[in-house]
Amino acid sequence: MDATHGAMDAVKESRGGDLFARRDPPEAPWLAIVLALLAALPFLMVRYPQMTDYPAHLARYHVMLEIGHNAWLQRYYLFDWRITGNMGADLLMLPLGRLLGVETAGWLIGMLIPPLTGLGMIAVEWVLRRRIGVGALLALATIWSPALVMGFYNFCLSLALALFAFALWVRLERWKWRPLVFLPVGLVVWVCHISGWGVLGVMVTGYEWSRRKSIASLIAPWPLLLPLVPMVLFPGASSGAMPYGPSYWPYKRAILIQTMRDQWYDLDILTPLLMLAPIFLAMVFRRFDGRLGWAAIVMFAMVLAVPRHLGGGDYADYRLIPVALMLGCLAIDWRPPRLALWLAPLLFLVRLETTTQSWMANDADLKLELKALDYIPEGARVAGAVGIPNSWHLKPYEHAPGYATVRRDALVNIHFAIPGVHMLQLREPLDIFIDPHHRILYKLGQQVDLSAFKPARYADYLWYFGGSQPVALPAGAVVLYRTEHSLLARLANMSPGR
């Protein structure tokens, strides 16, 4: 009787019918790979990536590629090429932008980042355990973190490369030439973004500490230190003091609450809780792999220690919270029942669906709003005004006026162009034509009044985006085009002949 039941159980498992079997399902690696590739879905469904900073980055790429032979861009902008730890997508744009055009290349680079990040997680899980477990499938939910939704291209690209680099570090553990390999690898990750390089350093140090528990583990990552050379030879601008904001804990508490902020408050609040629960259980039942667990703990400590602004970059601390969650999930070393393995990606899939739906709706709106470009001549001066209500969901249109630079070679006030920090510069240093002077923060129900909007004094056109229409415009402004959430107006101080 027992033999009969044993044979039947074996048949069930061979056919994949036992959802409660505690073994390594053969389909797990393929499931993970398919899910990682599926992470690109929002890009595949739209023409315009709906990320907060994306139009500003696209405008920078356009100036970078075209300023050498474009009189309008030369009139308004400068581009200061220099080696920095924040230029991964910019370097990719050099060949791809010339080959495909800046908008197609920008879409393609963004489309590749989510799958690369997911595949990097899979590579880490596989090289550590030779299997794909519940932790890696849970970690996929962090791909579409606020950093990606806001369009931090260089950081997200460097994070994906850091995951692959860490997997390579583990794979080459006993190879004597590993240090020589990682001298350029560390430099490449740093060039993409300095924060990704820092994540790689924390991962490698945590891995070595879990193995050795000695001072040697702190020295082991020395091959990653080559970027210190360009950092010393070509120091970037400092943002001065290391600001934590007017009040340290209220700000830190706010970003912790917003760990996975995107479009749906309840889901965004629930997501980190659903990820922390299995991490906590793994710690309690000693299924928490220190080879990545130490890195997760250190990363969370860095969230509390790192200021918001660092080296001219914003949200230096905020972008690390999902990384800490991701590493915590990847540290879960548990063979669950097959059913749990199939349930683990549900959080990722639900979040992916909500992101895709919001992108599709916002893409349809933006297509209508960009018809305003038909009324903007080449080389115009455009004052972008973006009304940002105090609400939970991230706003994809905060830099939408940047498309006037991309398609009309216009001077627009939405750029990241702080002297000494960014490579893109304004030829005439006009502070109110630099981010964030286009933003108009208001509370829900409050009216937006643009009658005294300062950048409009130096512009030919006013291009407004927001949740509601403004109740007043600058004196003499004439509306040329309007949609439900935008308008374009010709200003009274427009230059003759425009």
Model pLDDT, residue 214: 86
Predicted local distance difference test score (pLDDT) of residue 428: 86
- φ, ψ of residue 460 in degrees (nearest 5): -90, -30
pLDDT at 48 over 60: yes
pLDDT score of 447 more than 70: yes
pLDDT at 312 over 80: no
Instruction: Give the mean pLDDT of 15-35.
Output: 75
* Spatial CA neighbour of 93 closest among 107, 79, 80, 82: 107
The arithmetic mean of pLDDT across residues 267-273, rounded, is 96
Which pLDDT band, with edges at 50, 70 and 90, does 247 fall under? confident
Average pLDDT over residues 421-445: 88
Percent of the chain with pLDDT over 70: 92
Q: Convert the pLDDT of each residue in 82-127 to its tens digit.
A: 888 999 999 999 999 999 999 999 999 999 999 999 999 999 999 9
Residue 243 — pLDDT band, cuts 50, 70, 90? low
Assign 10 a pLDDT band (cuts: 50, 70, 90).
very low
| Residue, of 214 and 184, whose pLDDT is higher | 184
Whether the per-residue pLDDT at 334 is higher than 90: the answer is no
Quick check: 26 and 41 in contact, CB under 8 A? no
User: If we measure between CA atoms, which residue out of 314, 419, 451, 434 comes closest to residue 82?
Assistant: 419
pLDDT of residue 368: 97
Dihedral, CA of residue 95, residue 101, residue 107 and residue 109, to nearest 10: 0
* Confidence (pLDDT) at 8: 40
- Across the range 310-325, mean pLDDT stands at 88
Angle formed by the axes of helices 54-66 and 88-100, nearest 10°? 60
Q: What is the pLDDT of residue 238?
A: 41
Calculate mean pLDDT across residues 201-228: 93
Percent of the chain with pLDDT over 90: 75
Domain boundaries, the chain: 82-344, 361-490
Over residues 364-381, the mean pLDDT reads 97
Phi and psi at residue 145, to the nearest 5° = -80, 170
- HEC string of 374-418 equals HHCCCCCEEEEEEEEECCCCCCCCCCHHHHHHHHHCCEECCECCC
Residue 249 has pLDDT above 70, yes or no: yes
Is pLDDT above 50 for 5? no
Predicted local confidence at residue 468, as pLDDT:
86
What span, in angstroms and rounded, lies between the C-alpha atoms of 160 and 412? 32
Average pLDDT over residues 250-271: 94
Geometric angle at alpha carbon 426, from 383 and 92, rounded to 5°: 100
Q: How far apart are CA 457 and CA 376, in angstroms?
A: 17
> What is the residue whose two structure tokens read 């895709």?
356
Query: What pLDDT does residue 239 have?
Result: 38
Looking at residue 30, its pLDDT comes to 94
Which one of 46-55, 82-91, 243-252 scores highest in mean pLDDT?
Answer: 46-55
pLDDT of residue 311: 63
Preceding amide of 436 cis, omega within 30: yes
Instruction: Please determine, for residue 466, whether its predicted confidence score (pLDDT) is greater than 60.
Output: yes
Minimum mean pLDDT among 9-18, 69-78, 412-421, 426-435: which range? 9-18
Please determine, for residue 16, whether its predicted confidence score (pLDDT) is greater than 70. Answer: no
* Over residues 474-494, mean pLDDT: 93
**pLDDT at residue 337 is higher than 50:** yes
pLDDT-derived band at 2 (thresholds 50, 70, 90) equals very low
Which has more confidence, 96 or 233?
96
236 pLDDT exceeds 80?
no
Kindly give the residue spans of alpha helices, DSSP state H, lying in 220-264: 228-233, 248-257
Of the ranges 123-132, 231-240, 313-322, 473-482, which one carries the lowest mean pLDDT score?
Answer: 231-240
pLDDT at 439: 93
pLDDT for 1 equals 38
